A and B are shown apart, each in its own frame.
Chain A
């Protein structure tokens, strides 16, 4: 491993190795201390800043063998599923079905992205599903009752609702999560003033309610110190009851609003689709390449250029092909024409980009990983662990509310079952299948997207094969079990390799 490292910067000193026997540190001349940066980097020598493709591939292989699988199993599974379903069901690979699949998977993807934050800390939020149901039902109630939540809920419930929002804002303020406090107060203001119904206000209200729920969950876990499993299990039941209370036994609240309906069912125009493609793919290429070459210029550790170019090229080509296919007419009847990229695609993309940016480029994201990796080390490093732990529940519930908007829009109504059933299980499943560790510290937002794609494909494909619900559930459950098993085994392997 040591002798074949001949990187451009490693010429000054012989390549070093991880083998302790090979270190020669006894002779340390004074000129090695406090040398200026460029000289220091050359002197460091062992730090191979730019690797060859060959080495990168071998490193990746070593990581895989060491148990760091990342999203690879999920990607392979997705390929297998696509191959199986497209050979068994003729309609699977039609454009209409692919677009449908995207819309079906979107809400799960969004809730799963929020859950990734919680899972990164090694916690769990079992209440994300029914919490999203509460957000959806408040939203629907506000729309249906013409902005009069007091009339819609009844006085007692309304007062309790307002008190809850106030409490959430206070708890967030106590923990100095100002965004959570402010957003909870926005919900309170909307509720108390009785803002007239407007699709955008409804969506804002849903997200604010979700945030408030997260503040309370997070406080109970992080400050009171109840295990997240218990807190969220209790709240899972409680929120289910709240949804029932808000909507009423057997009732349904229809979302008769064009904007709300189009969130999950509308499409961008052809021009819009291509603009999205250009912005997304172009933006991705610009960011990745810009960063790569800037790192190379500064002499920092960077992956090999050919690998980066391949990755960027693949993404750009995929985006272009996907956009082209989705801008073709996919209507099955001759009367209507359906073209364009569904709105859910940019919604998921925007959330993915923002979330990834937060996790990987900000101090806060770094602290999330640190607390998930080693809470004690994070505490000793001066990180406010309780605040970080609370904040992830706020993010998770807010994301769940966004997911609620999407699934309510897809169905066009909110019923007492909103967010119940297997919404939560599928979301947790999506995150875990994508490669997020249940033990904390490992995972990225894109895992949620990949995992949700796997689950949506299973659901969709089994449906096309006319399999009964029983079989779909069993297969989904087994896939989740498989993913959790892979996670546990790879963790054991990583521990053994040390």
Chain B
């Protein structure tokens, strides 16, 4: 019961790491009262890569993200950032490290414009006064660097933007802070085909800029379109962390639903019945 190898990486995989791990979780546990939500999670995010985090409802994806974002504190285990062990006690700690989370919704204030939203809570200026010119230029520079061409003006109110544009702004907001790891919680869940494409392009571009990107998604098409690696959670355990090109759609779906697929996954999924 105790001794279980949570992450069984596929054997014979190309050993040379593409890049240094920027964020590493080692043996992270988290319980809410009697309910153990995360079991000895090992999870690695590499700079310049998109890591998809998949799993069924209740598998612990959101909890894992919240532990990294500082909203929940992990009960035990180690979090290493850029090789150093770190403690994340609150959202501020995470932000200070350069970890940004883009939530599915709740991220933007409708009544403010793009610039105001991107700098929300971290406005530039002195003595409580706002430096609008500086913020507007920085916002535009960030959007340009991400090749965002769908927002007509940085002074458009967010209420006038479409779902994809909102998601774009939310992601750009995360990039603005020279962040190094961006966690995206179902960024395409509520979007149409064309808008999903826009956002996925943007996700890819984030990785190309050298950020570590974590993409939480239910959509296998999205995962296979942008992710370099897939980490699959199954009932609070890390079933597998594999390269996207080494697995098929079907295998990932099996990992999500049963926790194992052939050689991959949890060795003896006895807990699948409960």
Contacts and interface: CB of A to CB of B under 8 A. Distances in A.
Contacts of B125: 363
A59 to B, nearest CB: 10
A390 interface: no
Q: Which bucket holds chain A's interface residue count?
A: 35 or more
A373 B113 CA distance: 11
Interface in A327-370: 361-364, 366-367, 369-370
Contacts of A35: 144-145
A372 B111 contact: yes
A441 B122 contact: no
A373 B110 contact: yes
Given A33-B209, A382-B121, A23 B133 contact: no
A294 B136 CA distance: 13
Given A66-B160, A362-B130, A377-B108, A382 B95 contact: yes
B144 A44 contact: yes
A442 B123 CA distance: 20
Nearest to A20: B194
B165 A28 contact: no
B16 interface: no
B242 interface: no
A18 B162 contact: yes
Contact of B106 (A25, A33, A380): A380
Contacts of B128: 362-364
A4 interface: no
B149 A46 contact: yes
Contacts of B149: 13, 16, 23-25, 45-46
Interface stretch (A211-219, A256-264, A295-303, A459-467): A295-303
A53 interface: no
Interface residues of B, number: 53
B220 interface: no
B4 interface: no
A369 B112 contact: yes
Nearest to B160: A66
B145 A301 contact: no
A150 interface: no
B195 A26 contact: no
Contacts of A37: 137, 141
Interface stretch (B37-45, B151-159, B259-267): B151-159
A382 B91 contact: yes
Given A16-B152, A40-B140, A370 B112 contact: yes
A26 B144 CA distance: 14
A43 B111 contact: no
Contact of B205 (A28, A362, A380, A494): A28
Nearest to B109: A373
Contacts of A498: 159, 162
Interface in A41-58: 41, 43-48
A193 B137 CA distance: 54
B110 A300 contact: no
Nearest to B103: A380
B62 interface: no
Contact of A16 (B91, B107, B133, B150): B150
A20 B246 CA distance: 33
A34 B129 contact: no
Given A20-B164, A373-B112, A47 B129 contact: no
A369 B133 contact: no
A381 B110 CA distance: 14
B107 A361 contact: no
A32 B147 contact: yes
Interface in B179-219: 192, 194-195, 197-198, 201-202, 205, 209
Residue of A17, A294, A366 ringed by the most chain B CB atoms within 10 A: A366
B143 interface: yes
A374 interface: yes
Contact of A300 (B121, B137, B165): B137
B108 A295 contact: no
B152 A17 contact: yes
| Among B108, B112, B148, B149, residue most surrounded by chain A Cβ atoms (within 10 Å) | B149
Contacts of B36: none
Contacts of A381: 120-122
A224 to B, nearest CB: 24
B133 A298 contact: yes
Given A20-B195, A26-B201, A41-B140, A47 B111 contact: no
Nearest to B71: A380
Contacts of B109: 369-370, 373-374, 377-378, 441
A374 B108 contact: yes
B130 A383 contact: no
Given A369-B111, A370-B109, A23 B120 contact: no
B110 A301 contact: no
A33 B205 CA distance: 10
A383 B122 CA distance: 9
Contact of B144 (A43, A361, A377): A43
A441 B111 CA distance: 6
A21 B194 contact: yes
Contacts of A45: 149
Interface string B41-69: 00000000000000000000000000000
A260 B89 CA distance: 55
B151 A46 contact: yes
Nearest to A301: B155
A291 to B, nearest CB: 9
A370 B118 CA distance: 12
A46 B152 contact: yes
A34 B192 CA distance: 30
Contacts of B111: 369, 372-374, 441-442
Contacts of A382: 91-92, 95, 121-122
22 contacts: A13-B149, A20-B164, A25-B202, A47-B154, A300-B132, A301-B155, A361-B129, A361-B130, A366-B112, A369-B109, A369-B111, A370-B116, A373-B110, A374-B109, A377-B106, A377-B117, A377-B120, A378-B109, A380-B91, A380-B107, A382-B92, A383-B121
Given A294-B133, A300-B132, 12 more contacts: A18-B152, A23-B150, A28-B205, A41-B137, A298-B133, A301-B155, A377-B108, A377-B109, A377-B117, A382-B121, A383-B120, A442-B111
Interface of B: 91-92, 95, 103, 106-112, 116-117, 120-123, 125, 128-130, 132-133, 136-137, 140-141, 143-145, 147-155, 159-160, 162, 164-165, 192, 194-195, 197-198, 201-202, 205, 209
